[in-house]
Structure 1
Amino acid sequence: MDETRIETEALMRANLLDVFGQRDPAARRAAAERLFGEDVVFGDEEETTHGVPALLERAGAILDRAPAEAVFAADSPVYGTGEQAALTWTFGVPGAQPLARGIDLATIAGGRITRLTTLLAR
């Protein structure tokens, strides 16, 4: 596995677990500042946000609506390398049916995510 692949995989998993799966706002912010470009664009079916503060607000809102024991889990290997990557995931209470399933599609530049799109399974 080449170094770019390892970096891309680490970036995608950290996005899922350390930002969108992190319930502590200070830890979530620290991770986001490492992982995202300052002008990151994040979009899902509800809205599109611009910038790290808006992305953090959106991530917090997702977690605030969910049961406290709900967690994100990777549901596939990371696909892609370099500038494009994808990771499927589940979100829910461990041992129960997932509350949601989706895929994160990322554009990466300079070792940071500059665009993130989340698509939900139907």
Structure 2
Amino acid sequence: MPRSPADLMRVNLLEVFNEPDPDRRAAVIAENYAEDVVWHEPDRINHGRTDLVRRATEFLAENPDWVFRPAGPASALDDIGHLGFQYGPPGGQPPMVSGMDIARARHGVITELYTIVTKTRQPS
């Protein structure tokens, strides 16, 4: 059964960008993203699953001990999903980054993903 846009938003945040195992992460991407997915980050655009896998791997290596946490529930309207996030050290420490992911889905997979950073804290 295809996933809803809200379900896909939770998968994106927790099963891709919090997944340390590269094989598991690649399998989740293959199952939940269109082959020609386009991911818009604040500073670049990634085209296709291969770029998504590569960039997610790079991103996780930048701060390997940090985690994403949902900032509220995922929501959906028709084929659009949304989930706010916080990103930073685990264990209840304040997040270093806050933002949101917005995605368009078709046939139960993400076709376009937009990451918007709304707040960045400097480490103390």
2:49 alignment partner in structure 1: 52
Q: Within 2, Cα distance between the matches of 1:85 and 1:109? A: 11
- 1:17-39: CA deviations, max 9, x gaps? 11111111101000001110000
> Out of 77, 80, 83, which is 1:84 matched to?
80
Q: Any residues of structure 2 matched to 1:1-122 within 5 Å, and which?
A: 7-66=4-63, 68-94=64-90, 95-122=92-119
> Which range moved further: 56-65 or 32-41?
56-65
Counterpart code for 1:80: A
Flag the structure with more relative contact order, 1 or 2, with Cα contacts below 8 A and sequence separation at least 6. 2
- Which protein has the bigger strand share? 2
Unaligned segments of structure 2, at least 5 residues: 120-124
Is this contact kept in 1: 2:5–2:103, CA < 8 A? no
Is this contact kept in 1: 2:6–2:82, CA < 8 A? no
Question: What TM-score do the two structures reach when normalised by structure 2?
Answer: 0.88
Partner SS for 2:77: coil
Counterpart code for 2:6: E
Partner SS for 1:121: strand
- Which protein has the bigger helix share? 1
The number of equivalent residue pairs is 118
2:122 alignment partner in structure 1: none
Unaligned segments of structure 1, at least 5 residues: none
Partner SS for 1:102: strand
